[in-house]
Amino acid sequence: MVFYETLILIHAKFPPNETKLLMRETARVIVERDGALFRILDLGWRHTAKPLWKKEVGHIFYGRWYSLIWGGGPKAKQEVEETLVHNTGVVRQLTIPISQFASVCCVKHGS
């Protein structure tokens, strides 16, 4: 199993209940492809470095960022990317493999 982090930018005009359904749909895609979703982080509202253009929305310079940490095979990665690309609320998405999974996902005790 390969571990991934997916970063998602959702534009400000996308309704919150649709965002919740998008995260649920993404989790369903991961689990159906024999993967495991470890964490969904809401990174909050952020400005982008430069304006982005989305056909249905227009210029975007502000949106909500999410980070998904999950594990799965190549088919799961492809399905997640297709799910996010075809959603109207997602402005940008990036899926990268995690080489040091323990340092990202595990809680460190001590000192």
Is 57 within the bounds of a domain? yes
Give the Cα separation of 75 and 46 in Å (integer).
31
CA distances from 106 to 3, 37, 101, 102, 109 (A): 13, 14, 8, 5, 10
Assigned domain for 111 exists? no
Q: Which of 20, 24, 25 is nearest to 10 (CA)?
A: 20
Task: Report if residue 7 sits inside a domain.
Answer: yes
Structural domain boundaries enclosing 29: 2-63+78-100
CATH, residue 29 = 3.30.70.60
Q: What is the mean pLDDT of the chain?
A: 91
Number of structural domains found in the chain: 1
Name the band, by pLDDT with cuts 50, 70 and 90, for residue 55.
confident
pLDDT at res. 99:
85
Q: Which residue has the tokens 């253009």?
A: 53
pTM of the model: 0.86
Task: Tell me whether residue 83 is in a domain.
Answer: yes
Express each pLDDT in 76-102 by its tens digit. 999 999 999 999 999 999 999 998 766
In a domain, 92, yes or no: yes
**Closest listed residue to residue 91, CA positions, set 40, 45, 56:** 56
Residue 109 domain flag = no
Q: In this predicted structure, what is the pLDDT of residue 58?
A: 86
